[in-house]
Structure formats: C-alpha cells, structure tokens
Structure 1
C-alpha cells in the first residue's frame, strides 16, 4: 500500500542533524540539485526569515536543537549559489575545536616562543582558516559546470586552479610576511619585561591591524624575540582579508558569506575564544565583504565587544516568531506551519495523498489532526520527524492510517525514548563538573515538582467554586504559569523540550515579594502529559482565560524549591535566600549587609545544597557525556531493528561528527562496550554488558516500554 523507501526518506529529511546538503536529501536515490529549494518551508510568509538571513551583515541565527537552523543555512547557501552574486563557505565550529585538539605544534620556533595557552589559540585560528580554505575550494569546485561559462574549458580550469592556489598561499606564505614596517622599532623588550597579550585586534591611525599582547618574552638561543611579531604574522588579518577580497573579485562576486554552525556546542570558554579570535576580527575588519552568519542556541552566545545595533539577532523559536501574548493566534499560525511542512515533504518525496496517510475521521476535522501534530512537535521539524517515524513503524508500515491514537502513542514514545531520561544520561557522565551536576539535579527536581503539582491539581481543582473548573470531573493541567523572574531557572527545561514557552500576561498580583508582575505561560511536552496522565489543553467550551486562573500559577512552589536548594553567601559569612538574588545582582553581586554595616564591597556567590550520587551500577564505569550519547543512539537504532549502524548514521542522531564518533567508538570497543565489525566503514553494536548498564542506570527507556 505504501512505498516504504519514500516514506523513510520523507521522515529522515525532517530529522537531519548538522550540515544539510543535496546528498542527504536524495529523492528516490537521485540527487536533485534544487531539492533544498523545493522542500524549504519558511516559518514566515514570503520567505521572510530566509531574506533576513541573506542580508549582507553579521547575523546570529538562534533556535533550539532541531528548529531548522541548518535547513535555513542550506537554503541560504543554495540561493547564493543560484544567484552567483556572492560566494559562501560553511564552517562547523565544533569540528574546528575537535580537529585543533589533535594538533600540538605549529613549528619549532613558534613552539619555543609561545606559552601553552597562546599556542592553543594559534592552533585554533589555523584550524579555522584551514576549514575556511577547504570549504571555499569545495564551493568553487562545485561551480565547475556553471562558473565562467564565457571562457573555454581550458581557460576556466586554469582560472579555478589559480584561485585555489591563492587560497593556499594565505597559509603557506603567512610565515614569511614582512612585518618589520608594522612593528615599532622600540617594541623589542628585555627578557625580564612582561606585557599583556590577548590577540584582541586593534586598528591604529594608519589603519594597520595589530594584536594586544598577553605573554612572557622567552629567550631562545640568546636571541630576544618579541611575541608581537609572531602574533602579527599569524594574525595578519589585513593580508587574509586582502586575499579573500582578491578571490571574490576574481570570481566576479561582491562578497562572501561565512556560515558558522554548531557554535553553541562549544564550551563557554571555547565560545569566548571563538568570538574573540575569529568572529570579532572579521566583524570589525572585513564587514564590507565578509558576512558572518552564526547558528547558535538561545542564551549560549558570547557576543564579546560586538555592537548590538550593528548585527541581526534572528530567533526562529515558535514563541518569538508567532507572538508572545495571544496563545490562540500562536497555535493557529503554528498549526498552519506544521501542515505546510508535512504536505511539502509528502509531495516532494512520495506519491501519497495526505488523506491516504492520515485517518481524518478519527479527528473532529483535518485541522485537529494537524493541531495534534503541532502539539506533539511544537514547531520543531526534527521532533515532527521523530513523531512521524514512530507513526510509520506502529501503523503505516502495517497498512494502517495515522489516527489520533497513533499520534498520541508516537508522542509518548518520543518523550520516553528521547526526553525522559535526559537528566539520567547527563548525570551518569564522568566529565561533568560538580557545579553543573548540582544544577542538573536541581532541574531534575524542578520538572518532578511541576509534574507532581499538575497531577495533583487535575483532581484537586475539579468542582471548586470557579466558573472555569466547577463543571469538570478532571481539570486539564498541561499549561501553567510562573512569574517572569523564574524564566531563567526554567530555561533548561524548555531547551530540553520538557516544557514550552507560549506567552506572557500580566498577573493578578505578584507573589512572595517578587518584583515583576509579568507572568510566563508554559505547556508541558505533549508526550509527557499522556505518559504522566495529565490532561492536555483546555476544555473546548472554555476561552483562553482558562490558562490565567490563579490556581495555575506555580511561582510559590517553584520559589520554595529554589530556597531549599540554593542560597547566597558572601565571603564574610552573611547568608541570603535565593529570593534576594535580584537585589544582590542589582548591587553587582556584592553583599548588602557588608555595604550597609561596614561600607565594604564583598562578593557574593550562589551556594548549592543538592548533592548527587551516580547509580551504583556505574561505579566502575567511566563514560563521558559524548560516549553516553553514542551508546544511547546505538541502542535506539537496535531496538528499531536497524542493521549496519555506522558513524555516519549515528551522526544523524546526535550532535557529534562522524569522525568524532568513530574515534570514541574505537575506545568503547577496546573497553568491551561496543562491537565493531571489520568493514569500511565500521558497523557498531552494543555488547550485552553495555545494554544492561544502560537499562539498569535508567539512561535509556527499556525496549518493552517503547512498543
């Protein structure tokens, strides 16, 4: 009845991780060069998001995992190639740092001059430039059949070869750059003199770019070497930009877009370094011809000294796109977007009609069907792909249409398989520091508290003297509110898809001394609600003020949990409750008691009261967070009956490159947690021991619960 390959292709394109190219979007096994244009669905009318990304400025494209950042990047690059007015390159920030870790030396002279931190910085920069060169060469080579069509083939090939050679010269000639004219004659220092360094670029009155220094001068064979010279050679951005401009001019283009992906996958210190040493210099020096486009997660961006009014910040999360005050309007627009995604993929990847896939008779209307799909995915294309994949396995491949029950069961499975064990997976890792673990434990307790309140209110609120509840035997409690001051503490739960932010409203009175009267409306994950027996939504006959009822504000109980788990303490021993955090932050995290009584500016810090013990079954196991992600992904594929699980396949499931996955699987195999078949590429499976450990530690949902 159904073409399995077509349907699999459809859902897999919704689930893609990392860079998206035409090779990952095959239609019946054939490459369609325009497929990304055909399947792209902008969240706003007239491709408004795409057009904004294509503006010639620095842009931060911000959204949670799976919201479609990589798809927008792929669509933007396709448009750039199609119009041939500019060039583009794609760089994965996480790959840059992973590759740089495998390099420990630049040259004998440089290694002796720089300390470890400086050497690491230069290695990262060089790796970035190497990836830049590699991506640009790929883009040029891909244009072989369309570029310089007015030239003969021989002339065209010679031109492209010359362009690629110039790219390589950026690196091979860098060390021989004559920098004597840029270094003041008095900059050579005695060995005892220290200067401050940081590779922060600055521009002098003559327009010459040079770095600030944060290094100790080192003596080498009785020669005094000024580290300025080394950094000017390696950070000679003037020369780099001139070469890039030359390449752009040679290609008869006006500029070059640099798309930077997986930026927020870097650790905080690495993000700061990436911004300081890569984003800032290009932003300040080359903004007329180099247009940076950085894909990032909310609240995981280090802006450095970038001027906020001179770059675009584009959020593609549902809450920011479809409005913050009218939940009804948001749901209508989000449902339309969800329907467009499904219809578009079906028409491009299958010959199936929408009514042949969905059993609309099991819903009140076809609109209700797509509203359920929206509830289950919350405008996150990757989540929609997971839901549809579950439906294919449970119903479609057995000759059944997708009905309401199928969607609910698919959402439950997605929650149990991908979300419910998130904190167990994180806390089982050995490479997470104690502060982060304490925060994770707090988040785990917080979601447990919110679920418990919702479960209790389902019965407790029924029949009370309230026009919105009195005629109900069970109250839908999937939506709740907290004072806006608690948004920051709930942000990790939202980022990890336990809850979703839907709107803001003015409360009927702040509680427990909270200064802000604005409240934020959230909903629980649709699959979570059905798993935990929480009724979703609101009664059809009730208006949207249902969500504004005072009983659905959980601020007091959230505040109580925070007070029990956190406190604030100053260096002189004064202790404050977490409810005083806003006051202390307004004082620059200085102790108000010390200021008042002693006139002293004494620093305060948050003190966590929660401890965590790893599951006893993992006492002898030293899995890292990345390794747990790999093991979990293999487990998921195995319970779905997938064979030949390769690093490339796993790359589609987790935020790691196939190169990184392969390296880690080698170590896991050496420790007898993974089996590798001796093929090229390797195929991976779990050993009995690792499967038992994953189950007993609660890291994965047991297979019998996912059927």
Structure 2
C-alpha cells in the first residue's frame, strides 16, 4: 500500500480543467492523456463520435469528462497527417476579455446609454478575442506540423498566408465601434430606458399598494454574471431586436476573409479539414452565449463547405444552436440517464458500473498500483465498485473527491477502504463542498439578486423534496402506504428516488446542475404514463440517514414507480408559493397552472393581448433577508471559489493548481489573488521557486469559521 500514490490518483481525478494532466507526467511517464483515457462507452464509441466528420455538441454537467474527451480526440488527430486541430477555452477567454477592459465612450455618442455601450463593447471584445485566439492557434498548429515542408505554393507562399492570418487576428481584437452599429445601439438604449422607467414605476406602485414584488429569472446554473447593464440583456429578449443586433455584430467581423484564408491554408497544405474544439461555452450568460453561437459558430459551421468542423462542449439544457441545424449535427450527453439509457434500469446501471470500474482500474494501473490493494480484504470488490458508481454517478471529478476523503480517513492510516468508509466520504463531500453552495455563496457572493433568489428557492425546493421523503419513510414504516409490498424491508426502506412528470424537469434543472439530484431513468408509471425518475445525491441521503437505492430481488425491479414516489404535487405546491406568471405590460398575474397554455400562445397576456408574460419568482420575504447581508464582506463568485479552494487545501498553491480545481484560467486566478492580497485575504510569495498563494487567518475567520 502506497498512500502517496493513492493521493496522487485522487488528485488527478479531481481536476476540472483541460485534461492533459501535465502535473502527473512524472508519475505516469509517456503521454498522460493516452495512458489515462477511458471511454464512457465500449469500443471508444464516444471518442469515435467526436472524431467523426460532423459538427458535434458534447453535453454533460461539470466534471463529467468533456475536456478529457476533447484532449484525447486532439491527441488522436495529431497522429493523422490530413487534419489540423485547435482548442479554444471559451469561458476563460470570456473571463479575461470582460474583466480587464476599461471601456471609454466617445462623447459624440450622446444618444447611446453608457451602460448599453459598455455591454456591447465588452461582448464584442470577447468575440474578437475568440476569433483572434482561433487564428493564433491555427498559426501555432501549423508551425508544430511543419506545414512549410508540404506546402504546394500554387496560390502563394506559406509565410505570406501566415502573415495575413496574423494581420486579421490583430484587426479583430481591436473591436472599434463601427458606424453601422450606432443606429441599433440607439434603438436598444431607447428601449432599455423605457423598460427601466416602467420597472421603476411598477416597483413604486407595488410598494404603495403592498403587492408582491418579483424578479424575472430563467434557469440559473451558476453561469457567468451578466455583463454591464442587465436591462440591456433583458431588452434583447425581444427576438426581432436581437436578430437585428446580432446581424450587425456579425457584419463587423471579416468572416469571408477569415474563411477564405483558412480554406487556402488547408488547400495549399493538402489538409482535409480544420477541427476546432470549443470548450465551456454554456457558462456564458444568455446574450453572450447567443452572440457566440450566431456570430462565431454558425458562420464557421455553415459557410466553409465542410472544411471546418466544430466540436462544442456545453451543459445539458443550456445549448443554443442558433442558425446551426440541430438535425445536421451530432449531440451526445455524458450524464448517466442519457448515456446508458436502456429498456431496463439494471442494464443501464451495469454499463455505468463497468465504466466506473474501468476508469479506476486504468487510473491506478497508470500510477503503478492496483486499486484492489486499497480495498479492505473482507469487503466484496464488486460491491465497492457499485457503491463508488452510486456515490459519484460516474462523474470523474466526484470520484476524485470521494477517493480523497477515503485517503484522509483510511488510506493515510494504512487501512483498507470499506463500504462504510465510502458512504462516510460521500457524506463529507456533501457536507463540506456541495451544501456550501447554498450557505457560503448565498451570504458572501457578489451577484445579481436574481441568482441569490434562485439559490434560495432551490434550497426551499430541496427541503420540500427531502421532507416528503422523510415523511414517506415514516408512512411506510407505519404501513400507511404500499401494503405488503414494503412489508419485508425493515425500518429503513429506501426513499432516495422519486418520479415526476417530464414537463416538470425544468424545475429541477438547477438542483441537477449542482448534483443535488440526478436524473436516473425514463420509464412509465403504473398507469402507463411517461415519467422521469430522479435520485438524491448519495451524500445528501447519508446526511439525512435515508437509505439509497432499491432493495435486491426481482420483485423490486420497479420499486421506483410505486405510486408513493410520485412527487408531482410537491413540486406544484412549491411553484404555487414561489412563482407566478405576470405580464410586463399591464401587470396582470396568472396561476402557474396556466403556464403550459400561456406558453403555447407565445406568452400572450389574456388581459392586454401583448406577448409579454413571463414566469416571476416571488421575493418579498427574501428581499428583506438579502438586505440584511453585510455587503462589505461580499466578493465576486470567482474570488470566493479561490478562497474556498485555498481553505480546503490549507497549503501554498500555484495559480495553475487552483485553476484546475475551480474551472477557470491560471491568469485570472493570478489576477484575483493579487486583488485578494490587497484585502489581506490571501498572502502571495515565492515558495519552492514558484509564485504561490495561501489563505490568511483573517479570511478563514470571516468566511469559514461558523
């Protein structure tokens, strides 16, 4: 047993970011990504899909392995002599492009609101950075492939074309305001002003009359906050105005020239196509995401005669296709319920457990050890692999956290892993990591009220679902439900799963994104209706002392669809107390029971007939709670994440080490730790020859001592 090697395995699984795993090259030798890659499906089916000649969208929640699959695909492409590939980290570019720009406005643009101008220029700057990075990466890839040696030179020389690419890259990064952009920005400014004045009037009226106030929200998934004025983004909810705006932005970039140069490059070098990997685009706020697709992805995908193919990573439910025809691209989801969907749940589970087993076996073997040497000799090995799947839902990053906790509790003491220690590790992961999403972020993150409200409502919804499961357990034990079906299950019957109408899945999207619940399967209830089965996070059920899963035996194969596990009414009751449908024009409110009907008619108001209805979350009580928070202690969410990581480590860390754990770039971590140092929340110094950071006692006392 080698505890240090075990710890390195756990750390390699925890890392979020681009999965070349260079920090572990000495442990493994050779090429880490080739040595460690395990495909989620047999015969490398996921990798084969990514390597196909089609544009591909790869979806999955954080930590499900999207970046690892991209890294392996690029490794395979580099072995071929007729393809060239590049990788663009969209989220990191967005963070760097929008956090460091001081936007100055020409005094002659008096008819454009400053907030609108700033929002526009920051977004345009981000798009320019993406295009500039793309062209720079093309040049770098060309140099690494020594294309000069295979250059045909029929049209022009290699250096001439590379110089042209460099020139375009510099131009697109400048992002000056174009004359044709001024009219649309003036229109947006006028509409934004009217919207703001209307909302202010409604707010004053609500306070005078005592009506419930609200905030319009969509599915909040801890994405990048809105750039600049959020009213600008809301104004662009008008699809016609947005289309006009995005078309103007698109014309501001020389796409015909870019596509022509790349096509010439491929022809002259005898290459089949360029493959571009775009990672993490779903974390952009909604307007930036739409612009990214309509201004960058769509032109590259639709106007290159199959010479440029895109591979795009995003989150389930947060993929905008724009002008890309979804029917002409491949879309693959890495989440358990989608990837291993089968006619029987047990078949899907077997496939998922096999993946967990293959991931762990290959990872430990690459580090020169055998995972079975770290299991308690009295434990059933197959049962432990099954349990590791259940606590992680096949998310490699969660596996890393579970193994790290097992290392601290067992392996560091040279004790083998048992089922009890895995369950304890899951409980600790929930208690120390996941539950903090509600508490610490809600109290200390500097973010829009709408995001705090969404998190607050998530907590209420999770509490309602858990309360129902706890009460259901009591009712089963009192023989009030289920009759003889539950009679032999003893005092702790599993109540970790529930099912709902598929139309209600959107209500659970934020909880699912944060792993508090996970969709487990699609099936049919006892009345033959389609239903969606969900499971609570294993560590959450451990914390609540609820049994997870379903009993063994063929008679329990349909355990999850017993009528007592239908939670539709619980969710509808939650919606009735936290949400309503309101018209932005006349202020009329409608019950959430009417949502499907109103949505069918394009959100038309039944009172004023305007297409201006939307779901509004009720917020009176919570507004008071937020107002009592200490604003002086609030930090940008990324800064709070940095402090959480440094606090968890308790040691000096390089910016690159922190970035790998919180899904951002090392440049941004370096910049933000300098800001935190100015507030005496972080210390920075040269340690062991590297610039590193450590959390201060002041920060630990403020943010982490209850």
CA shift, 1:394, in A, is 1.7
- Which residue number in structure 1 is paired with residue 219 of structure 2? none
Pair 1:607-2:624 in alignment: no
Aligned counterparts of 1:79 and 1:2: Cα–Cα separation in 2 = 33
Q: 2:87 aligns with which of 83, 90, 96?
A: 90
- Which residue number in structure 1 is paired with residue 416 of structure 2? 401
CA shift, 1:493, in A, is 0.9
- Which residue number in structure 2 is paired with residue 49 of structure 1? 46
Q: Is the 8 A contact 1:111 1:119 kept in 2?
A: no
Aligned counterparts of 1:193 and 1:522: Cα–Cα separation in 2 = 45
CA shift, 1:305, in A, is 2.0
- Which residue number in structure 1 is paired with residue 561 of structure 2? 548
Deviations 1:36-91 (A, max 9, x none): 22321111111111111112222111110001100110011001001222000111
Q: Is the 8 A contact 2:92 2:665 kept in 1?
A: yes
Q: 1:485 aligns with which of 503, 516, 539?
A: 503
Deviations 1:553-605 (A, max 9, x none): 1221221111111122334454322222112111221234x38xxxx446323
CA shift, 1:437, in A, is 2.2
Aligned counterparts of 1:192 and 1:360: Cα–Cα separation in 2 = 74
Q: 2:391 aligns with which of 367, 370, 376?
A: 376
CA shift, 1:683, in A, is 2.1
Pair 1:669-2:677 in alignment: yes
Aligned counterparts of 1:291 and 1:111: Cα–Cα separation in 2 = 40
Aligned counterparts of 2:403 and 2:678: Cα–Cα separation in 1 = 36
Deviations 1:232-278 (A, max 9, x none): 6x522222112112322343321111101111121111111211211
- Which residue number in structure 1 is paired with residue 284 of structure 2? 266
Q: Is the 8 A contact 1:170 1:243 kept in 2?
A: no
Which gives a bigger RCO, structure 1 or 2 (Cα 8 Å, sep 6+)? 2
C-alpha change, 1:531 and 1:484, in structure 2 (3 Å) is: same
CA shift, 1:482, in A, is 1.8
What pairs with 1:22-421 in structure 2 (closer than 5 Å)? 23-28=22-27, 30=29, 32-33=30-31, 35-101=32-98, 102-103=100-101, 119-143=121-145, 164-171=162-169, 235-323=253-341, 325-350=343-368, 352-359=369-376, 361-362=378-379, 365-421=380-436
Pair 1:576-2:629 in alignment: no
Aligned counterparts of 2:111 and 2:382: Cα–Cα separation in 1 = 67
Deviations 1:344-378 (A, max 9, x none): 1111112x23331212522xx32211100100110
Aligned counterparts of 1:231 and 1:588: Cα–Cα separation in 2 = 27
Aligned length: 633
- Which residue number in structure 2 is paired with residue 532 of structure 1? 544
What pairs with 1:463-482 in structure 2 (closer than 5 Å)? 464=479, 466-471=483-488, 472-482=490-500
Aligned counterparts of 2:345 and 2:683: Cα–Cα separation in 1 = 49
Deviations 1:295-346 (A, max 9, x none): 1011222222221212221111111111165221111111111000011111
- Structure 1 unpaired stretches of 5+: 177-187, 198-211, 216-226, 511-516, 698-707
- Which residue number in structure 2 is paired with residue 439 of structure 1? 454
SS at match of 2:484: coil
Q: Is the 8 A contact 2:655 2:667 kept in 1?
A: yes
TM-score by length of 1: 0.82
Aligned counterparts of 1:646 and 1:194: Cα–Cα separation in 2 = 42
- Structure 2 unpaired stretches of 5+: 189-242
Aligned counterparts of 2:499 and 2:183: Cα–Cα separation in 1 = 61
C-alpha change, 1:506 and 1:161, in structure 2 (3 Å) is: same
Q: RMSD between aligned alpha carbons?
A: 3.6
CA shift, 1:669, in A, is 1.5
- Which residue number in structure 1 is paired with residue 11 of structure 2? 12
Aligned counterparts of 2:478 and 2:75: Cα–Cα separation in 1 = 57
Q: Is the 8 A contact 1:195 1:213 kept in 2?
A: no
SS at match of 2:87: strand
Higher helix share: 2
For the pair shown, the structure with the greater C-alpha radius of gyration is: 1
Pair 1:588-2:605 in alignment: no
Deviations 1:181-228 (A, max 9, x none): xxxxxxx99x9999999xxxxxxxxxxxxxx9769xxxxxxxxxxx99
